[in-house]
């Protein structure tokens, strides 16, 4: 399929980026080295070879798990990755779940009451969600709920509580349930609410918008009238018939939403001091930690591609007409 080609293509782009900003081995060099030592280091990193060969060496390294050294974390990238990944995944999943549930509900509510008040409100929410600068919305939430109301904390956890349980999955909420610790669970959830809200708003808007327009379209179909003609109560017509079919195209937006969430974590993690990939990335950007940046780009792109692939497959499965080539 096309997927491997795209992954290779992305890796080439990333590799090109590494070579743009001067010598990639800059962190290994220092002024005291002799030209011979420099040449030796260059040879070790294959910089004397033609560029395509360098790419192959680099690619091999990546596949073997060598993603370079992170100046920010003072450790190999692959070592630091899993912990940060868990933190970001927890945030993304929480926001995603909220966005999907809320977005579908809102879209259905609005679509069933087309052009009446709930619909207009939803459309305002949807368009503002798509235009909302995430960093601004997050800061607003911070100002209102942390500075003034002081309802929610920032960061991921209270260090003492966090250390009191073991972390098999890396997902704080799950770990606290597994450890059977209500204090930890409360701590986890309470810290999660604000950033998940910030991140979820835009995603909710995307999904609600799609759901609404799908539902409006389905409600105009003949089978909806036919269902009413059978004597089905309106709520069944809506849920069992119209909404079920309207959900199918909405699935395709899930992939898009995922991309949105992924990108949003960068900003949200900065503002809420969440110790995830996004914040690590932001720090790396400011301090020129190339290895991290490239690893991040590679990782998010591959993830994005795979999620879209899954979405395509699920969509084909759901839309039975598509499967049998109607």
Partner 1 sequence: MVDALLSGAPVDAPVSARQVRLRRGLELAASVLSNPTTILGLAIITVLIGMAVLAPVITEPNVPDPYQMPRDWGAVAKPPGTPGYPLGTTNEGGDVLYGMIWGARTSLQLSLTVVGIAALVGGIVGSVAGGVGGRVDEVLMRLVDVFLSIPELIFALAIAAVLGPSFGNIIFALSVVFWVKYARIMRAQIIHIRQNEYIDAARVIGDSRLNIYRRDVLPNAITPLMVQATLDMGHVVLIGATLSFIGLSQAGIAEWGVLVSEGQAGIAAGRWWASTFPGLMVFLWALAFNLVGDGMRDVLDPRTESGR
Partner 2 sequence: MHAPATIASVVDLKVHFQSKRGVVHAVDGVNFDIRDGETLGLVGETGCGKSVTGRAFLRLILMPPGIIAGGSITFRPHAVCPACEGAGCPRCGQTGRTPAVCPACGGRGCAACGGTGTETVDLLALSGERIRRIRGDRIAMIFQDPGKALNPSLTIGEQVAEVFLQHRSADLMQAAGVEAGHFLLRRFASQRAGTPERLLLALPPLRGRRDRILRALDVMVAKALADTQIPNPRKLMDRYPHELSGGMRQRVMIAQALACNPDLLIADEPTTALDVTVQARILELIRELQRRRKTSVLYISHDLSLVRRISDRVAVMYAGRIVEIGSTGEIFRDPRHPYTRGLLAAVPSAAIGRGKLAAIRGTVPELVDPSPSCRFAGRCPHETGACRSYDPALAPVARGHSVACFIHHQPLAGERPSFARRSG
Q: What residues line the site for partner 2 (CB under 8 A)?
A: 221-223, 225-233, 236, 240-241, 244-245, 248, 320-321, 324, 326
Backbone angles phi, psi at 259, to 5 degrees: -60, -40
Residue 220 binds partner 1, judged by CB under 8 A: no
Among 110, 206, 215, 268, indicate the residue that binds partner 1 (CB under 8 A).
206
Residue 130 binds partner 1, judged by CB under 8 A: yes
Among 51, 143, 226, 313, indicate the residue that binds partner 1 (CB under 8 A).
143
136 contact choice in partner 1, partner 2, none (CB below 5 to 8 Å, kind-dependent): partner 1
Residue 304 binds partner 1, judged by CB under 8 A: yes
Residue 169 binds partner 1, judged by CB under 8 A: no
Alpha helices (H) along the chain = 2-20, 35-44, 51-63, 77-112, 117-131, 134-141, 159-163, 172-178, 182-219, 222-229, 234-236, 244-272, 277-287, 290-318, 320-323
The CA distance from 317 to 315, in Å, is: 5
| Count of C-beta atoms within a 10 Å radius of residue 308 | 18
> Mask 270-289, x = binds partner 1 (CB under 8 A)?
xx---------xx-xxx-x-
**150 touches 131 (CB < 8 A):** no
Residue whose token pair is 């579908």? 104
Q: What is the radius of gyration, based on Cα positions, of the chain? A: 24
Q: Which two tokens stand for residue 60?
A: 């091999």
Q: Which residues bind partner 1 (CB under 8 A)?
A: 2, 5-6, 9-10, 12-14, 17-18, 20-21, 127-128, 130-136, 139-140, 142-143, 147-148, 206, 209-210, 213, 249, 253, 256, 259, 262-263, 266-267, 270-271, 281-282, 284-286, 288, 290, 293-294, 296-297, 300-301, 304-305
């Amino acid at each position: 399929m096309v997927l491997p080609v795209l992954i290779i293509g992305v890796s080439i782009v990333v590799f090109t980026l590494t070579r743009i900003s001067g010598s990639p081995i800059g962190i290994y060099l220092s002024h005291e080295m002799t030209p011979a030592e420099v040449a030796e280091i260059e040879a070790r990193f294959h910089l004397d070879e033609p560029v395509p060969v360098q790419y192959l060496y680099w690619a091999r390294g990546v596949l073997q798990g060598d993603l370079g050294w992170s100046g920010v974390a003072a450790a190999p990238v692959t070592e630091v990755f899993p912990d940060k990944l868990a933190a970001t995944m927890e945030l993304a999943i929480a926001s995603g779940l909220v966005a999907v549930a809320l977005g579908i509900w809102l879209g259905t509510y609005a679509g069933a009451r087309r052009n009446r008040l709930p619909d207009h409100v939803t459309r305002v929410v949807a368009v503002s969600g798509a235009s909302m600068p995430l960093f601004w919305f997050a800061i607003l939430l911070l100002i209102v709920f942390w500075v003034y109301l002081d309802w929610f904390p920032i960061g991921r956890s209270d260090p003492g509580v966090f250390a009191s349980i073991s972390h098999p999955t890396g997902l704080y909420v799950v770990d606290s349930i597994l450890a059977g610790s209500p204090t930890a669970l409360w701590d986890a959830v309470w810290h999660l609410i604000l950033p998940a809200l910030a991140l979820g708003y835009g995603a909710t808007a995307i999904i609600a918008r799609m759901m609404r327009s799908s539902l409006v379209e389905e409600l105009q179909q003949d089978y909806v009238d036919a269902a009413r003609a059978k004597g089905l109560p309106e709520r069944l017509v809506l849920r069992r018939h119209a909404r079920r079919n309207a959900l199918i195209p909405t699935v395709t937006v899930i992939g898009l939403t995922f991309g949105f969430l992924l990108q949003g974590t960068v900003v949200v993690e900065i503002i809420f001091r969440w110790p995830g990939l996004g914040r690590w990335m932001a720090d790396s950007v400011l301090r020129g930690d190339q290895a991290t940046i490239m690893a991040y780009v590679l990782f998010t792109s591959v993830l994005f591609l795979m999620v879209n692939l899954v979405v395509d497959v699920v969509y084909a499965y759901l839309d039975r007409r598509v499967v049998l080539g109607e």
